[in-house]
Amino acid sequence: MEAKSGTLRLSWVEDRLLLGMNWRDYFKSNLTPFNGVMAIILGIGIPVMLYRIFFGLGPSTNLSDYNPWGLWIGFDMLAGIAVASGGFCIATAVHILGMKEYESMVRPALVGGTLGYFFAVVGLMFDLGRYYRLYFPFFVSPGPSSILFLVALSVALYLHCQFFEWCPAIFEWLNWRKLRRWWVKGTLGFTIAGLLLTTGHQSALGSLFLLMPSKLHPLWYSDYLSILFYVSAIYGGITMVIIESMISHRVFADRLHDDDPGRFDRLTLGLGKAAALVIFVYLGLKVLDLAHGYKWSFLATPYGYWYLFEILGFVGVPALVMIYAVQNSKPVMVRGAAIAAAVGVLLNRVDTTIVAFNWHLPWEYRYVPSWMEIVITITIIGIGLLTFRFIVNRMPILNEHPDFEEGHH
Amino acid sequence: MDNDRRKFMKVVAGLGLSAALGAPVRARADSHELAGYPNQFGVLVDTTVCIGCRRCEWACKEWNKLPNQKGLKEYEKDQSVYQKLRRTRADTYTVVNRFENPSDPSKPIYVKKQCMHCYEPACASSCFVQAFTKRPIGAVTYNPSVCVGCRYCMAACPFEIPAYQYYNPWTPQVTKCTFCFDRISREGGVPACVAICPAETMTFGKRSDLIDLAHKKITDNPGRYVNHVYGENEVGGTSWMYLSGVPFNRIGFRTDLGTTPIPTLSKAFLSVASPMYIIFPALAVGLYTFAKRRESISKEEIAEALKKKEGKK
C-alpha cells in the first residue's frame, strides 16, 4: 500500500473494509434510498426472527400438522437452491468444458451461488424445530436410506466446495499470494466435486416428493421428479447469472472500468443460447411426463389451468422468446426471457411444495403463509443482497485484481 | 422373535464378502419381498361395533401422560367433538370420528384413528436421522433424542398421522401413537386403548392370526362387512387393520393409496444416485481432457500455419 503514501496512510480497516474512507465518510456514503429500504426491512424482520426463535413455530407460522412444510421450505430452500446453481453451471462451462470466454462470469456466479446456498440454509434454520441439531444427520445418527440425507450431505459439502472455489478472490483481497497460488491448483477438483454434488442434491430435492404420491397433485408428481428438478435447476442457474450480471452492470458500473458493452452482450447471448436449449429439454420432459403418466385429463381442471399457466407462461413462452432473441441477437430480450424463466423455476418449486401439495384436502386445512413467514423470507433475501454488495464492493469479483491479472485459474 | 430376519441380514451382509472371495452366491431377494417380521402384533378394528364412547382416547392420554387430559366422564359425555372431523395432534395420539351411515342414518359409524404401524413405514424411510424404528413386535417407534425437526415424516406419511409440537419453541418433538410399545413388549400386554374398550371393537394379536380372523368374520357374517380388510395390503400392509360395513372411502379412509410400500418409491432414485458419484468424475475428467486436447491441437495448427506462411515469404 505504499502507493497511497502521498495521502494519509489508511488503516487496514479503512482500506479493506471501509472502501478507503474513514468511519464518518463511510457512514455518510451509506445514506442512500436503497439502504433506507433495507433498514426498514431489517427493522421489522429482525424482531420477527427473534419472535420465531423465542416463541416457536406455532405462534409465528401457519404451519400445521397437515402442512408441515411451508414458505421457508418451498421458497427459501427449494426455490432458492434451484436458482443458485449458477455457480456450478458457469464453473463447469469454464473449468471443465474450457469455455474460457465466460471466465469473467465465474466469480460473480460463484459468490451469488454460495450466498444463495448459505441463505437457503439460514431459511432452513428458521424452519427446523431443533435447528441446533443441524449436524445430527452427519455425526450423531445418520439415516442414509433417506433422500433428505442425500440432500443434506451434498448441500453441506457443496456449500463448502463453492466457498473453496471462491477462496482465491478472498486471498487476493487479503493479499495472501502464496496460499492463493497453491489454492488455485485445486480449481479443477473443486469444480468436478461441485458438478457431482449439484447433480446429487438438485435431483434429490425433487425426489423428496417421490414418497408423496397421495398428497402431491399428479400433474406435479412424476416418476421423473429427480430429472425435472435437475434440468430446471440448470436453466434456473443460467438465467439467474444472466439476471445477476444485468443488475451488476447497472449497480456496480464503477467497478467495471474496462468493460466492453459489446462483449457483455455477446456473453449474454451465449448464456441465452445455453438456457434456451435446457428449457426446451425441460419442456420435452414435461410433455413426456404428461404422456407417460396419462395425465392429459387433469389439464381440464382448475389445477390443470394453473399447471398450464406455469408450463406455458413461464417455460414455453420464455423458451420461444429466448430462442428468437438469440437468433436475432437481441440481448435485452434475452434478459427479459431469463427473468420469466427464472420466475418459472421459483413458481414450480412453490407449486410443488405448497400449491399442488395436499390438493386432496378441503380449503380450511390448506396452507397460506403467515405474514411473519413472509417477513422473515424477505429479511433473509435482504441480508443476502447486502452481503453480496459488501463482498462485491471489496473483493475482486466483478473486476480483476490489478495485482493478480496474470493469474487465471 | 426376529431371528429369521436377522439371519437373513447376516446373509446379505456376508454376500459382498463371499462374492469377493469367490464363494458361491445365492440370488439376493429385494428387501421388500421379505415377509416382514413374521411374529409382529397387530390390531383389528371392527368399525361396525364401535359405540363412540371415546374411552380409548382417554386411556391413550392417560397411559402416555399427554397434556390437556380431562376426566373419563367428560370424554363420554362430550359428543360435540363429533361435529368436526378430527385428526391426531401433538397432545392426542388417537381420535374417534363419526361418519354418517349411508345404509342406516340412525346408526352413525365411529372410526378410531391412530398410527397404522406400517410394515414398511414411510416415516422411517424419510427420516435422515433414523428416528423411527419398525420394531419386530410391530410397533413403529420414534426417538426424540435424535430428531432435528425437519418434519419430512409428516409430509411423507400417507395416513397423515405424525403431529408436531409447534408451540414448543426449544425442544419440539414429533408425536404419534407408540402402539403402547412398553405395554405390548411385556408378556400378555395389550395397548391401553384396546384394554379399555367396552365394546370389543379392537382385537389385539398376531397380525397373521388377525388377517385370518378378519376374513372369517367377513365370510361368517354375509352382508355385515364389505369384503375388504383395510391395512392387509395398503401401502404394503399395516399392523393395524380395519373392517367396515360400508365402503372405506365413506368413513374417512383413503382407498387410493395402492399396495406399494412408500419406501419402494425412493429406491429407484437412491440406487442410481450412488453410482453417479463414481461415473460423473470420470465423465468430467474426460470432457476436460477433450477440451484441453482440442485447444492444444488448434494451437499447434495455428503455429504450423504461421510457420508455413513465414516459409512462403
Domain boundaries, chain A: 35-396
Whether residue A112 has pLDDT greater than 60:
yes
The mean pLDDT value of chain B amounts to 89
Query: What is the band of B169 on the pLDDT scale with cuts at 50, 70, 90?
Result: very high
The mean per-residue pLDDT over the stretch A166-191 comes to 93
> Looking at residue A28, what is its pLDDT?
87
Query: What is the band of A1 on the pLDDT scale with cuts at 50, 70, 90?
Result: very low
The mean per-residue pLDDT over the stretch A302-311 comes to 97
Q: Please name the member of B122, B154, B280 whose beta carbon is closest to the beta carbon of A65.
A: B154
Whether residue B230 has pLDDT greater than 50:
yes
> Looking at residue A259, what is its pLDDT?
66
Whether residue A120 has pLDDT greater than 60:
yes
Query: What is the band of B10 on the pLDDT scale with cuts at 50, 70, 90?
Result: very low
Chain A nearest-CA residue for B159: A214
> To probe the interface with A, which of B94, B152, B262, B274 has the most A CB atoms within 10 Å?
B152
The mean pLDDT value of chain A amounts to 92
Pairing relationship of beta strands B202-206 and B240-243 according to DSSP bridges: unpaired
Q: Please name the member of A64, A95, A211 whose beta carbon is closest to the beta carbon of B122.
A: A211
Chain B residues whose CB is inside 8 A of the A64 CB are: 166
Residue indicated by cell numbers 413462452: A317
Whether residue B306 has pLDDT greater than 60:
yes
The mean per-residue pLDDT over the stretch A216-232 comes to 96
Distances (CA, A) of A55 to A47, A69, A233, B154, B168: 12, 18, 35, 22, 8
**Which one is predicted more confidently, A401 or A166?**
A166
User: Which of A10-19, A349-358, B212-221, B225-234 has the weakest average pLDDT?
Assistant: A10-19
pLDDT in tens, A248-258: 888 888 777 65
Q: How is domain A35-396 classified at the CATH fold level? A: Formate dehydrogenase/DMSO reductase fold (1.20.1630)
CATH of range B39-262; options 3.40.50.300, 3.40.50.970, 3.40.50.720, 3.30.70.20 = 3.30.70.20
> Looking at residue B2, what is its pLDDT?
46
> Looking at residue B313, what is its pLDDT?
61
Whether residue B14 has pLDDT greater than 50:
no
The mean per-residue pLDDT over the stretch B249-253 comes to 96
Percent of chain A beyond pLDDT 70?
96
Chain B residues whose CB is inside 8 A of the A63 CB are: 151, 164, 166
Query: What is the band of A15 on the pLDDT scale with cuts at 50, 70, 90?
Result: confident
User: Which of A172-186, B11-25, B124-138, B191-205 has the weakest average pLDDT?
Assistant: B11-25
> Looking at residue B8, what is its pLDDT?
44
Taken in order B190, B193, B196, B197, the sign of the CA dihedral is negative
> Looking at residue B15, what is its pLDDT?
41
**Which one is predicted more confidently, A250 or A82?**
A82
The mean per-residue pLDDT over the stretch B222-245 comes to 96
Q: Is the overall model pTM greater than 0.95, yes or no?
A: no
Query: What is the band of A21 on the pLDDT scale with cuts at 50, 70, 90?
Result: confident
Query: What is the band of B5 on the pLDDT scale with cuts at 50, 70, 90?
Result: very low
Chain A nearest-CA residue for B261: A211
> Looking at residue A257, what is its pLDDT?
61
Percent of chain B beyond pLDDT 70?
88
Whether residue A26 has pLDDT greater than 50:
yes
Measure the CA–CA gap between A235 and A279, rounded to whole angstroms.
Answer: 6
Whether residue A261 has pLDDT greater than 90:
no
Whether residues B158 and A66 touch (CB distance < 8 A) is answered with no
Which cell is B257 given? Answer: 393409496
SS (H, E, C) chain B: CCHHHHHHHHHHHHHHHHHHHCCCCCCCCCHHHCCCCCCCEEEEEECCCCCCCCHHHHHHHHHHCCCCCCCHHHHHHCCHHHHCCCCCECCECCEEEEECCCCCCCCCEEEEECCCCECCCHHHHHCCCCCEEECCCCCEEECCCCCCCCCHHHHHCCCCCCEECCCCCCCCCEECCCCCHHHHCCCCCCCHHHHHCCCCCEEEEEHHHHHHHHHHHHHHCCCCCCCCCECCCHHHCECEEEECCCCHHHHCCCCCCCCCCCCHHHHHHHHHHHHHHHHHHHHHHHHHHHHHHHHHHHHHHHHHHHHHHHHHC
Whether residue B4 has pLDDT greater than 60:
no
Whether residues B160 and A137 touch (CB distance < 8 A) is answered with no
Query: What is the band of A8 on the pLDDT scale with cuts at 50, 70, 90?
Result: low
Chain B residues whose CB is inside 8 A of the A54 CB are: 169
> Looking at residue A2, what is its pLDDT?
43
Query: What is the band of A16 on the pLDDT scale with cuts at 50, 70, 90?
Result: confident
Chain B residues whose CB is inside 8 A of the A56 CB are: 166-170, 172
> Looking at residue A23, what is its pLDDT?
86
> Looking at residue A290, what is its pLDDT?
95
Chain A residues whose CB is inside 8 A of the B277 CB are: 196, 200
pLDDT in tens, A267-278: 999 999 999 999
pLDDT in tens, A124-144: 999 999 999 999 999 999 999
CA atoms within 13 A on the CB side of B305: 6
Whether residue B32 has pLDDT greater than 70:
no
Percent of chain B beyond pLDDT 90?
79
Whether residue B37 has pLDDT greater than 60:
yes
ipTM above 0.95, yes or no: no
Please report the residues numbered 225 through 264 in chain B whose beta carbons come closer than 8 angstroms to any beta carbon of chain A: 254, 256-258, 262-263
Residue indicated by cell numbers 469454464: A94
Residue A90 and residue A244 in contact, taking contact as beta carbons nearer than 8 Å = no
Measure the CA–CA gap between A391 and A387, rounded to whole angstroms.
Answer: 6
